Amino acid sequence: MTKLKIAIQKSGRLNEDSLRLLKNCGISIDNGKGQLKASARNFPVEVLYLRNGDIPQYLRDGVVDVAILGENTLVEKGEDLEIIERLGFSKCRVSLAIPKEVKFNSLKDFEGKRIATSYPNTVKKFFKENGITADLHVINGSVEIAPNIGLADAICDIVSSGSTLFKNGLKEVVKMAESEAVLTSGPDLSSEKQEILDTIQFRIQSVLRGQNSKYILLNAPNDKIDSILELLPGMRSPTVLPLAQKGWSSIHTVVEGKRKFWDIIDGLKKRGAEGILVVPIEKMVL
């Protein structure tokens, strides 16, 4: 049987989030502690646990077919590889940081400085675009200590909460790029493997759509329905059902997008909606 080989990071938050996504897609992975390869018991998939930085080359070589990895790694080592789905988790940014006591004026402050980083290609490209010349020191591992031991004047690294920078006496001064987990594919997939990937991608899209949406049920007087419907987006249109109480109806719809959700709820209240019920959606299949 043809199996699709998926690479994910061998440990850490990206590993956990990737496995959770596959599980939510109905793919059960049988893996034990320390295992570097595992098969799904209910789907033609094999998972390989690899170092994040090695995955782009494994994709090019055909060792694995697809991968879930950080976009920052793809920018650094796999710009030739296509992003086929943005996954919305493991979000971070690639930033420049300096010691807290050092005053920062502008990007020009990095001219001629020593920069410690695990992302030399990203830094070189960014500095070239901005006309900055600097001395890069490539470090594989924790770069935050470099300024404290006199190895560098600043660092470039991925930043999530910023707590690691703070603990090491550093401050973030320039955000170079934003990153999230992405699904990417190798250059040549057989038709059989592409069909498996299409199925997985369809399931992923359904899971992500559900995570970013809420199902809303509310009651409203009939003379307020038109005003309320103006606020309610839906997959096609909201559902309106008469209630037992004369002159009232129940309205059902799906609201997508976390940023505008509370604005919509506030607007519904102002326009006469009552008994608003918000229900999470596990998956949304279109």
Q: What is the mean pLDDT of residues 217-246?
A: 86
pLDDT at 33: 62
pLDDT at 232: 80
pLDDT band at 119 (very low <50, low <70, confident <90, very high): very high
> Which of 11, 4, 1, 85 shows the shortest CA–CA distance to 47?
4
CATH no. for 92-179: 3.40.190.10
Kindly state the helix (H) or strand (E) to which residue 203 belongs, with its residue range: helix 191-211
Q: Tell me: the pLDDT tens digits for 120-131?
A: 999 999 999 999
Report whether pLDDT(235) > 60: no
Question: For residue 220, what are the contacts with CB-CB under 8 A and spacing of at least 6?
Answer: 228, 248, 249, 250, 251, 271, 272, 273, 274
The percentage of the chain sitting over the pLDDT mark of 90, rounded to a whole number, equals 63
Dihedral angle sign, alpha carbons of residues 220, 221, 222, 225? negative
168, HSE (Cβ side, Cα atoms, 13 Å): 20
Report whether pLDDT(277) > 80: yes
Q: Tell me: the pLDDT tens digits for 19-58?
A: 999 999 999 887 666 678 888 888 999 999 998 889 999 9
Q: Do domains 4-89+181-210 and 92-179 have the same CATH topology?
A: yes
Mean pLDDT taken over the chain: 90
Residue 3 three-state SS: coil
Question: For residue 199, what are the contacts with CB-CB under 8 A and spacing of at least 6?
Answer: none
CATH among 3.40.50.1100, 3.30.413.10, 3.40.190.10, 2.60.40.10 for 4-89+181-210: 3.40.190.10
Q: Tell me: the pLDDT tens digits for 163-185?
A: 889 999 999 999 999 999 999 99
Torsion of CA 199, 202, 203, 204, to 10 degrees: 120
Alpha helices, H only, 62-190: 71-77, 120-129, 163-167
pLDDT at 234: 55
Domain extents in the chain: 4-89+181-210, 92-179, 213-280
Domain 213-280 sits in CATH 3.30.70.120 = yes
Q: Tell me: the pLDDT tens digits for 183-222?
A: 999 988 999 999 999 999 999 999 998 888 888 899 999 9
